[in-house]
C-alpha cells in the first residue's frame, strides 16, 4: 500500500514538474499602461500639471491599423504619451480618446467595483510637493489620506478626471 501511494505521489510530482510553464523572457521589465479618457486634453493637463508626469512624443494609428491590431472598430487612435522620469526605462502612460464613439464609464465607486485595472500607483520623491500640486488644482483626496505607511512614507489617494483611482506613495519632506 505504501509503495502504491509513493508511486502515485511520485507520478503527480513528475507530471506537475514536467508540464510547468517556463517563465517568459521579456525584452524589457517595463509595462506601458494604456488608458482611454473622456477628454484627452483635460486628462493630459491633469497628468502633467497636477500629477507631474512629463509628456513625450506620442503617436497615431490609422483606423485601418487600429482595426487590424484588433483594438478598434474602424476608429483611428491618437495616443499621447507621458513618462514617470527621464530614464529610457521609465514607465509610460499612454492616453487616448475616441470622441466619435466614447466608451462607457465603468463603476468606479471603489477599486473592487469593476473587474480590470483599477488604479495607478506612482512613487514620488516628495509627497509634500505632490500634495501642494493636488491642493492647488483643488483635487479631492480620498479617505483620510495622506496616511502613514510607516516611517516617513505616506500614501495619498485621489481620482483623475475620469474617476480612475491614483495612489501616490512617498516620503513627506518637512
Query: Would you tell me how many other CB atoms lie within 10 Å of the CB of residue 126?
Result: 13
Mean pLDDT along residues 157-170: 94
Q: What is the pTM of this model?
A: 0.80
DSSP classification of residue 94 = E
- In CATH, what number is assigned to the domain containing residue 63? 3.10.180.10
Same domain, 173 and 126: yes
Q: Tell me the C-alpha distance between 113 and 67, whole Å.
A: 30
Number of domains present in the structure of the chain: 2
pLDDT of 100: 81
% of the chain beyond a pLDDT of 70? 89
Query: What does the block give as the cell for 120?
Result: 495607478
Establish if 129 belongs to a structural domain.
yes
Host domain of residue 118: 104-174
Q: Do 123 and 94 fall into the same domain? A: no
Q: Per-residue pLDDT tens for 23-71?
A: 888 777 778 999 999 999 999 999 999 999 999 999 999 999 989 888 8
Amino acid at each position: 500500500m505504501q509503495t502504491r501511494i509513493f508511486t502515485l505521489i511520485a507520478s503527480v510530482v513528475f507530471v506537475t514538474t514536467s508540464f510547468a510553464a517556463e517563465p517568459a523572457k521579456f525584452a524589457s521589465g517595463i509595462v506601458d499602461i494604456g488608458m482611454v479618457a473622456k477628454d484627452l486634453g483635460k486628462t493630459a493637463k491633469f497628468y502633467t500639471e497636477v500629477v507631474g508626469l512629463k509628456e513625450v512624443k506620442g503617436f497615431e494609428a490609422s483606423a485601418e491599423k487600429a482595426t487590424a491590431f484588433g483594438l478598434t472598430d474602424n476608429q483611428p487612435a491618437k495616443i499621447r504619451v507621458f513618462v514617470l522620469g527621464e530614464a529610457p526605462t521609465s514607465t509610460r502612460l499612454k492616453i487616448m480618446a475616441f470622441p466619435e464613439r466614447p466608451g462607457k464609464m465603468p463603476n468606479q465607486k471603489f477599486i473592487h467595483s469593476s473587474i480590470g485595472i483599477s488604479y495607478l500607483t506612482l512613487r514620488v520623491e516628495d509627497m509634500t510637493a505632490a500634495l501642494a500640486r493636488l491642493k492647488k488644482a483643488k483635487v479631492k483626496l480620498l479617505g483620510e489620506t495622506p496616511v502613514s505607511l510607516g516611517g516617513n512614507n505616506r500614501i495619498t489617494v485621489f481620482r483623475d478626471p475620469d474617476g480612475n483611482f491614483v495612489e501616490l506613495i512617498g516620503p513627506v519632506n518637512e
